[in-house]
Amino acid sequence: MPFSSLRFGQFCDFCPKVCFSASGSKRFKILPFSSGSLTPSIFFSVKSRVFLPFLLTKRAIQSFQGDLYEGTRMAKMDDLPGIRLIFKPLEDSGTLVRRTDEELLNALDSFVVVEREGQVIACAALFPFYEYKCGEVAAIAVSPDCRGQGQGDKLLDYIEKKASSIGLQSLFLLTTRTADWFVRRGFTECSIEDIPVERRKRINLSRGSKYYTKQLLPDTSGIRVDSMFA
């Protein structure tokens, strides 16, 4: 994969270590390359478009991740009205399955939200299937006023890292209209037979959903995403 197309947390073909993009905040300590027990990485300067080798301490990486995921946290009861507001146009158009308040409340512990100035501007859910070491990504939704700002990518990155940190090896999803977006982010089409049996039983076949899956890279950072926002 060329450097120019790398996103935060992805591995590149030219370096066996994870690459960290400086497209977000740069409030972390960068140390010149030297011997020792620090973590080798690649730093990408967007302004100069030059790649330079650096060593990032674990604390530096955690600080950078905290900036990248700023405002991203697990959902709570007070977020229900904001989530419902984001869902409504997508449910009305048929992009998302309509959920009752009770269904949304029961699933709330699986939701992640992005908050800005006290308002929920994006959300997504991760439903683990531990027996199969996989998880379902569902209900990725961004407020119309905040689309095109990378909030969907932020949520998907967060969910992938969280899934990896709890021992999941792959993700899957069902979609009717946004397949191209997920394909560009590493998902590939799969068969309904690849979906866990207990989830398969609850699929509404009349929606004509397609199924996609993605293998996760092992999380070697040693940093748990839930610990950053506890």
88: its two tokens: 């409504």
Residue 223 DSSP class: -
> With the C-alpha atoms ordered 147, 152, 155, 158, is the resulting torsion angle positive or negative?
negative
Residue 71: predicted pLDDT: 84
Reported as a single tens digit per residue, the pLDDT across 152-171 is 999 999 999 999 999 999 99
Exposure class string for 85-110: b at 16+ Cβ within 10 A, else e: ebbeebeeeeebbebeeeebeeebeb
Quick count: other Cβ atoms within 10 Å of Cβ 204? 9
Residue 194, helix vs strand vs coil: helix
pLDDT confidence bin for 219, thresholds 50/70/90: low
Reported as a single tens digit per residue, the pLDDT across 114-158 is 999 899 999 999 999 999 999 999 999 999 988 888 899 999 999
* Per-residue CA distances from 111 to 48, 130, 137, 190 (Å): 38, 17, 10, 24
Q: Catalogue the E-assigned strands of 46-155.
A: 50-56, 72-74, 111-116, 119-129, 134-142
Residue whose structure tokens are 């006023």: 145
Residue whose structure tokens are 């397609």: 210
Which domains are delineated in the chain? 3-68 (no CATH), 72-228 (3.40.630.30)
State the Cα–Cα distance between residues 221 and 224, nearest whole angstrom: 8
Exposure class string for 46-75: b at 16+ Cβ within 10 A, else e: eeeeebeebbbbeebbbbbbbebbbebbbb
pTM for the whole thing?
A: 0.68
- Residue pair 121/79 in contact by the 8 Å Cβ criterion: no
Identify the burial level of 77 via C-beta atoms within 10 angstroms of its C-beta, where 0-12 means exposed, 13-18 middle and 19 or more buried: exposed
Angle at 212 between CA 209 and CA 215, to 5 degrees: 160
- Residue pair 124/159 in contact by the 8 Å Cβ criterion: yes
Average pLDDT (68-88) is 89
